Structure 1
Amino acid sequence: PPPNLSGLPMEKLRGILITHFHSDHISDIGDFNLNSWVAGRPEPMEIIGPEGVDRVVEGFNIAYELDRGYRVAHHGAELLNPELGVLESRTVGEGVIVEEDGLRITSFEVSHPPIEPAFGYRLDYEGRSVVISGDSLVTEKIIEISDGADVVMHDAMALQLVRGAEGMTRSTGNTRLATVLHDIQDYHASIADLKQLVEQADVGQLALYHLVPAPRNDMALGVYVNSMPEGAVITEDGMVFSLPAESNEIVIE
């Protein structure tokens, strides 16, 4: 199987929350399913998401059908129960979608047109809370659901970089790419809008992820660092946020 770059105990993975069905938000499902199956996950993995998740899961199961068969033939059904390699889906709407063992997960609709529905999620456990925006503009609903959260993870766009790239590509005659760069400018939260979020909601820690464009050098990174809300952090692969129960402490490693 592919390497477990997440560092997670994959045998404990029970499900994945999907915000929407853009390719960059679903492409790792197959690897997570395979790695957790090989690691000894004791039940089928559930993919939870908005309307349409059943079609996505059906597609993954079809695409990986031959792969599952090869691995069972190679290692034996006693080690790799073939039933546990088949994904299951659960379609959810807005509201509380999980409430068990002190964990509450609430889904809420976000603004990422033309994708409808697109969701974000709030997770509450032992007095601590995390909000994940998915891909969204800053909306009244996100401000409301982020109020009181310890960590809000939000996508962010540096409009000046995108507009600069649009102008450059248009000037070189690449109108196709320029059109794409123009179209995405109302697709993600701008850094200015994220300042509005922290001004109107009581947020312990704002963490920016899914940066558009992804900064490839220190100069581009500096655009985010110099204009993002005070105290915000830019996430990196492998970064861990620890929230000790019944505490206000936020540990970032």
Structure 2
Amino acid sequence: MRKLWIGLGAAAAVALLGLGGAWLFRERLAEATMRQAYKQILASDPLAQLPDGLHVGLCGSGAPMADPGRAGPCVVVLAGKDLFVVDSGSGSTRNLLIMNLPPPRLQAAFITHYHSDHIGDLGELMLQHWAGGAAKAPLPIYGPQGLDQVVQGFETAYTLDRGYRIAHHGESVVPPSGFGGAPHPFTADPNGPDVLVLEKPGLKVWAFPVQHHPVEGAVGYRFDYKGRSVVISGDTGPSERLVRAAKGVDLLVHEGLAPNLVAVQREVAMEGGRSNYAHIFHDILSYHTAPEVAAREAKEAGAREVLFYHIIPPLPTRALEGPFLGRSRAIFGGPIKVGHDGDFASLPAGSKEIRWSNRLNLFKF
């Protein structure tokens, strides 16, 4: 019996030593894993493994209301090797970095309108484009009239920071000429044709007016690349122009506000004496689109798939996605997704396939 206890004690000691060794080794293992992850993240061409085609991701699927799982509205579009973003909501630039879609690779940014939740990260986006890649020219930015004022405002706010970074890193790392943005304002006349705002080999980007009164000049965008297409609604109420712009589109990325769930917010706000919030919850119904209405528009346009973003209200659990969508799936009849940050659709050129993944998982190790 004594030998048995000695044996058990020795085995326990060995096990404890093994656990202790593993515990001590965990830091080295974590460092090695981090190195491998950064080899992928900091690769010379982090987009090399993506097939030629159109790729669309959500760098922000949220709206002005606080949502811990969603950054402000931002859609990233990769056409071949050309990288673009539509809008720059709060927190979206960090998501771009985590999704391994580097801001220094941006060819241009497109803004739908100038509500704060769509431009809140524009200063950070311009900074990352500049400092992350030694840009020698400002980031081209396209948007409705008023864009010059917005870009200049962010540049003014970042003027001191600009000086600090040049003094610290030197002009070869942060060339003074690359700071900020180069605005390209345009007008999308509600009574005129859609506006071709950018054209490159194989790629056309169109802007079209949408309904977001009292915001004047709000637009959505359509990207066409080698036979694949995506339409991004921006903020809009029901819009015939959007239906026209989305004819035959592969993927419609559409904002969504669920009136039934916002009604709950308003009721609770009134019960709590939060009259200002109750008033806002009432007002926002008039210039956004209910998912079921968006589903009818997508069906009329002949869109192949629908992805909802700019989610109102926040959905802290996936169990609320059913009440958010209502009868949308039955109305549209095709694939519909409630968007989450990092969602990424790949539309290879020369096919009709849409492959889904989530690029926020790239940084997990």
Q: Which position in structure 1 is the counterpart of 2:226?
A: 126
Q: Which amino acid aligns with 2:176?
A: P
The answer as to whether partners of 1:106 and 1:122 remain within 8 angstroms in 2 is: yes
Query: Does the CA contact (< 8 Å) of 1:14 and 1:43 recur in 2?
Result: no
**Aligned runs of 1:63-212 on 2, under 5 Å?**
63-94=157-188, 95-212=195-312
Q: Deviations over 1:85-140 (max 9, x none)?
A: 13211101221111111210100000111100101000001011110000011211
Q: Which amino acid aligns with 1:58?
A: Q
Q: Kindly provide the CA deviation profile for residues 139-165 of structure 1, in whole angstroms up to 9, marking residues without a partner as x.
A: 111111111100110000110011121
Aligned-pair CA distance for 1:226: 4.7
- Map of 1:245 onto structure 2: 349
> Which residue of structure 1 lines up, in the alignment, with residue 103 of structure 2?
10
Aligned length: 252
User: Paired residue for 2:127?
Assistant: 34
TM-score of the aligned structures, taking structure 2 as reference length: 0.66
Aligned partner of 1:20 among 113, 126, 140 = 113
Match of 2:337 in 1: 233
Give the TM-score, by structure 1 length: 0.95
Distance 1:148 1:42 in 2: 39
Change (3 A) 1:195 1:10: closer
Q: Looking at CA atoms only, which structure, 1 or 2, has the larger radius of gyration?
A: 2
Q: 1:221 aligns with which of 315, 318, 321?
A: 321
Distance 2:324 2:237 in 1: 17
For 1:152, what is the secondary structure of its paired residue?
strand
**Whole-Å separation in 1 of the counterparts to 2:220 and 2:130:** 27
SS at match of 1:240: strand
> Aligned partners of 1:161 and 1:225: how far apart in 2?
10
Percent identity among equivalent residues? 36
Question: Counterparts of 2:271 and 2:198 in 1: how far apart (Å)?
Answer: 50
Q: Which runs of 5+ in 1 are unaligned?
A: none
Q: Contact conserved, 1:157 with 1:211, CA < 8 A, in 2?
A: yes
TM-superposition CA deviations, 1:22-66 (whole Å, max 9, x none): 111001111111112122134210111000000000101100010
* AA at the equivalent of 1:125: Y
Pick which of 113-122 and 164-173 moved more.
164-173
RMSD (CA atoms): 1.5
In structure 2, what is the equivalent of residue 60 of structure 1?
154
Flag the structure with more relative contact order, 1 or 2, with Cα contacts below 8 A and sequence separation at least 6: 2
